[in-house]
Amino acid sequence: MKNSLKLLPRVGEVIERPKPISLPTDGSVYDPELAHCGSCEPERGAAIAIRLEKERAEALKACFEAQAMELELQRRRMLLQKGELAAFEAPSTPAQLPAPTGG
């Protein structure tokens, strides 16, 4: 403690030091009206939105495939309960939809 007291200024002593000033960068300035970063590039924002939409669609597709598998399992169980022991036939699949075109 005694060594630390020697480092403190004495009564009446004035110490002047430069004061650091912090300025915000573009990355930390937000546009409060639109609630988004003012320095984000529109292309990057659009790419992120597209990627998220694609991931949502893939997750939804996986859910539908799981439901279809559950229904097929239920169908096969019902056939077995009826006593039909013939080989299972794969249900017909709906025709593929054409890929969307730009426009």
Residue with token string 């960068």? 25
Q: DSSP label at 24?
A: -
Q: At a CB cut-off of 8 Å and minimum separation 6, what does 60 contact?
A: none
User: Domain-by-domain residue ranges, the chain?
Assistant: 38-80
According to the model, what pLDDT value does residue 103 have? 44
Q: Are 27 and 39 in contact, with CB atoms under 8 Å apart?
A: yes
At 102, list the tokens: 């730009």
Q: Are 38 and 31 in contact, with CB atoms under 8 Å apart?
A: yes
Per-10-residue mean pLDDT of the chain, 103 residues long, equals: 83 82 66 55 85 96 95 90 79 58 52
Query: What Rg value do the Cα atoms of the chain yield, rounded?
Result: 34
